[in-house]
């Protein structure tokens, strides 16, 4: 499935099933980050977009993911600010662990409680 189709499926999925699209979208790396970037302003889609961006960053596009999340923090809905902070923390942790060669922690599925 191409990225545009994946984004369409995720956007129209019920909130309970939207997360099922995260990894397949995130596998598209920087294109996925840019694809969900407009969703960061949406009260309905922001949390999902943050999780896609974090996963794409964890998969190797960390500099781009970090840049997008930092620039979006002041623009996301108030309820999503903690999600941005969580994602940035995850990306920092992975970068530090990778630099030390000690990143054996599995990616998290959810995010902040």
Render pLDDT for 72-112 as a digit per residue (tens, 0 to 9).
Answer: 999 999 999 999 999 999 999 887 777 666 555 555 555 55
Question: Nearest to residue 68, comparing CAs of 30, 112, 42, 97?
Answer: 30
Q: Would residue 45 count as lying in a domain?
A: yes
pLDDT of 43 > 90? The answer is yes
Asked if residue 113 has pLDDT above 50, the reply is: no
Within a domain: 27:
yes
User: What is the model's pLDDT at position 37?
Assistant: 98
**Domain range for 35:** 3-100
Nearest of 61, 68, 16, 63 to residue 39 by alpha carbon = 68
Q: Rounded mean pLDDT of the chain?
A: 90
Contact 90, 54 (CB under 8 A): yes
- Domain count for the chain, please give it: 1
What's the whole-number mean pLDDT along residues 61-76? 96
Residue 107 lies in a domain: no
């Amino acid at each position: 499935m191409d990225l545009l189709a994946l984004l369409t499926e995720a956007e129209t999925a019920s909130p309970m099933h939207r997360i099922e699209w995260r990894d397949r979208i995130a596998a598209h790396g920087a294109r996925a980050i840019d694809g969900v970037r407009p969703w960061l302003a949406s009260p309905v889609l922001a949390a999902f977009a943050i999780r896609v961006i974090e996963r794409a960053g964890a998969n190797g596009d960390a500099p781009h993911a970090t840049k997008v999340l930092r620039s979006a923090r002041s623009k996301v809905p108030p309820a999503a600010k903690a999600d941005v902070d969580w994602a940035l923390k995850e990306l920092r942790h992975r970068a530090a662990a990778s630099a030390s060669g000690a990143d054996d922690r599995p990616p998290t599925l959810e995010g902040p409680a």
